[in-house]
């Protein structure tokens, strides 16, 4: 299953959880609960991906495992820099953001998708750090991903 479809299934379920929590506990508590659930899921999924790398995680092995997220042109990216310690690119089209908006989940799309990115890389290898200053989901023209890898020693 392509990652976009997997996220669609997850979002369809989380939409009802979010609406229920929002009605009973308010928007702040609902968003906090969704953020925490997605964070935990991202850490778990990243750990599984790291395990599949056989203990040899790095920025390069992380990049090599991006294909499921890109499948079906889910993301249109422009690579700005690629080395063994830095990977910078811009996302100029994000079908994840489009999907969440189409599902009526625009107000939490950043929690369902964007927040996952930083958590995911740390769960994969805590030497990988993500810096991002803007996202399409929150209204920018593009997402600016800047991954760095802190080598040992």
pLDDT per residue as tens digits for the range 77-87: 999 999 999 99
Q: State pTM to two decimals.
A: 0.91
In 3D space, the residue among 16, 46, 19, 15 whose CA is nearest the CA of residue 112 turns out to be 15
For every residue of 71-111, DSSP letters joined together read: GGG-EEEEEEEE-SSEEEEEEEEEHHHHHHHHTT-TTTHII
Model confidence over 101-153: pLDDT tens digits? 999 999 999 999 999 999 999 999 999 999 999 999 999 999 999 999 998 75
- Split into its structural domains, the chain has a count of 1
Question: What is the domain-level CATH number for residue 95?
Answer: 3.30.1380
Q: What domain range includes position 12?
A: 3-149
What phi, psi does 133 have (nearest 5°)? Answer: -105, -15
Question: If DSSP codes are grouped into helix, strand and coil, which group holds residue 145?
Answer: strand
Query: Three-class SS of residue 1?
Result: coil
Q: Give the whole-angstrom CA distance, residue 31 versus residue 10.
A: 15
């Amino acid at each position: 299953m392509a990652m976009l479809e997997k996220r669609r299934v997850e979002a369809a379920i989380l939409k009802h959880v979010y609406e229920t929590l929002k009605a009973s506990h308010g928007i702040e508590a609902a968003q906090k609960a969704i953020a925490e659930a997605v964070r935990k899921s991202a850490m778990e999924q990243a750990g599984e991906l790291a395990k599949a790398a056989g203990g040899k995680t790095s920025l390069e092995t992380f990049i090599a495992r991006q294909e499921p997220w890109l499948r079906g042109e889910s993301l249109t990216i422009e690579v700005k820099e690629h080395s063994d310690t830095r990977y910078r690119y811009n996302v100029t089209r994000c079908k994840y953001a489009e999907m969440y908006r189409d599902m009526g989940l625009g107000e939490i799309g950043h929690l369902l998708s964007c927040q996952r990115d930083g958590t995911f890389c740390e769960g994969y290898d805590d030497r990988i750090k993500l810096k991002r200053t803007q996202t399409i989901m929150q209204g920018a023209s593009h997402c600016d991903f800047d991954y760095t890898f802190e080598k040992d020693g």
